[in-house]
Each structure stands twice: as structure tokens, then as C-alpha cells.
Structure 1
Amino acid sequence: MPRYEYRCRTCGTTFELRRPMAQSSAPAPCPQGHGDTVKLLSTVAVGGTATAAPAAAPASGGGGCCGGGCCG
């Protein structure tokens, strides 16, 4: 289930809620009890390294438009 970040406009508290995507825009009461909150736009960073795929071996049979044959 995705997590969404909200901020309370009354006290400035930022908090997260886990809820279904269908409920992402539903009101989210502040943990301090305030009701005036706004959903924040979150960014996601994905770490890791990319590796190049090994080069494919060239197809045998020559080239050309007919799979190696002559298209006269």
C-alpha cells in the first residue's frame, strides 16, 4: 500500500499515511487533531547502478533485405 505525505496547515506537522491510492485525496486529520491538512507532492529516488547488456552476436548469413539473399 502506498504512503502519502501530508502537512497540517494549523501546526505545520508533516506526517505520512499508508492508504489505498483511491483514498489518497481523502481528508487526512493531523496526528495533533487538526483537520486542515494538505497532501504534499512527494518525489521518489531510486538508487542503484546500471550495467550494459552484453553485445549481441551478429546474425549469420550476411545482411540485406531478404535475410542474406539477393533481392535482385
Structure 2
Amino acid sequence: MPRYEYRCRSCGDTFELSRPMAESGAPAECPVGHADTVKLLSTVAVGGASAAPSPRAGGGGCCGGGCCG
């Protein structure tokens, strides 16, 4: 189950909740009991191959046609 991070606008506390994706936008109450919270954007670390672009056939750089030369 995904974990979502929230911040309470009343007390400034940040907290996490595990909830189904279908409930990701539902209101969340902070651990102290305040209802004025906002869901924070989280970065996701994804493992795997490098994200470097693959070389294009014909070379040429930016557009594949030599516009940078």
C-alpha cells in the first residue's frame, strides 16, 4: 500500500499515512487532530538502468540534423 506525506497547516507537523491509491486525495487528519492538512508532493526513487538518452542513428546532436554545429 502506498504511503503519502501530509503537512498540517495548523501546527506545521508532517506525517505519513498508508492508504489505497483510490483514497490518496481524501482529507487526512493530523495526529494531533487538526483537519486543515495538505498532501505533499513526494519524490520517488526508481532503480534500474541509467536515464541517459540513447544515441540516434545518423548523429547530429540536438535535432539529429546538425543544428548545433
Q: Answer yes or no: same fold by TM over 0.5.
A: yes
Unpaired runs of at least 5, structure 1: 51-72
* Identical aligned residues as a percent: 80
Q: CA deviation at 1:47?
A: 5.1
> If the length of structure 2 is used for normalisation, what is the TM-score?
0.66
> If the length of structure 1 is used for normalisation, what is the TM-score?
0.63
Residue 22 of structure 1 aligns to a residue in which SS? helix
Unpaired runs of at least 5, structure 2: 51-69
Q: CA deviation at 1:46?
A: 3.4
* Structural RMSD (CA): 1.5
Structure 1 runs of 4+ with >6 Å offset: none
Counterpart CA distance in 2 for 1:48 and 1:25 is 29
Q: CA deviation at 1:45?
A: 1.9
Bigger Rg over Cα: 1
Counterpart CA distance in 2 for 1:46 and 1:28 is 26
Aligned pairs, number: 50
